[in-house]
Amino acid sequence: MLVGSMIHISGIAHALALITGMIRCVIRWRKLMLAGASDSLYISSLPAILLLPYGLVNNWLLPMVLYIQDWWLHLASHPSLSILFHEYDPGLICTEHLLPVPIGLGFLYGCIFVYGSKIGWYHSLFLPLILIEMDGASRGEEASLLGAIDECTLVMVCAGICSGNLILPFKQKNDKMEGNRGSGNASLSWQALKTNIFCGDFIEAAYPSMERSSIINVCGYIAAGLSTEVLMKRSVLSTAYLPLPIAIWISHDRIGMGPPG
């Protein structure tokens, strides 16, 4: 309570609210939405000393992000470059607030998620960004674009690899313990498959298979990239850590979330 009160009284909370709002818009490739009239009136009534952190963000960081956004919109509207960007379906929700997304960016995001999860970026970077994106979102958008990417690039890719291990179990040649090892691998794959489909997240089970086989590794990256390309094109919001049917059901675009999932 003491730390929270100090952050609120010092004005840092208002600055952080602006920063997290900008991060949320950047993650979702949406135009920046400025504070409402009531918020602006409340903030302007604060003492000058308390407005310093808010003023630094509002007067320096926000104009910079707006300038980059306007430059991006101008670049994407150029006739010779328009073919490099996705065309949004007019039937999608809030398409007028979306920024142009270049073709291939989703594929890159999917590969980054798979690679980052292997080297420790998930809990240090991806998960905090998912929480920031979900925090304070407007009604109907409490889910997360990064959460949908997490579900499709990590959870479902792992489930697919585990399914492949069950269909074609791995057998190592010239190994006296071949039978036991195959049984243990099948047991791990079965448990991981059930966990990823019905509980949410057990992506570590796919790492041994990806490290053992370059074909599985490359196919995992390709699957993650293609699924994320669909999610980015339709700006799908969902989350991991839920059974797959529920992750699809809570999404605001179930048609967009279903096939990648």
**Same domain, residue pair 68 and 120:** no
Query: What range defines the domain where residue 185 resides?
Result: 104-261
Q: With beta carbons less than 8 A apart as the criterion, state whether 43 and 54 touch.
A: yes
Out of 80, 114, 146, a domain closes at 80
- Expressed in percent and rounded to 5, the helix, strand and coil fractions of the chain are 70, 0, 30
Question: Does 109 lie in the same domain as 71?
Answer: no
Is residue 111 located within the same domain as residue 219? yes
Could you give the number of structural domains in the chain?
2
Q: Which of 55-64, 75-84, 154-163 has the lowest mean pLDDT?
A: 55-64
Q: Are residues 145 and 231 in the same domain?
A: yes
Q: For residue 127, what are its two tokens?
A: 């998960």
Whether the pLDDT of residue 53 is over 50: the answer is: yes
- Output the pLDDT for position 80: 86
93 domain residue, yes or no: no
The larger pLDDT score, comparing residue 65 to residue 7, is at 65
- Give the pLDDT confidence score for residue 37 in this predicted structure: 38
What is residue 30's predicted lDDT score, i.e. its pLDDT?
Answer: 87
Question: Do both 201 and 159 map to the same domain?
Answer: yes
- The answer as to whether 73 is a domain residue is yes
- Domain for residue 62, yes or no? yes
Whether residues 143 and 186 share a domain: the answer is: yes
pLDDT of 177 above 60: no
Nearest to 110 by CA among 219, 25, 20, 26: 219
Residue 134 identity (one-letter amino acid):
M
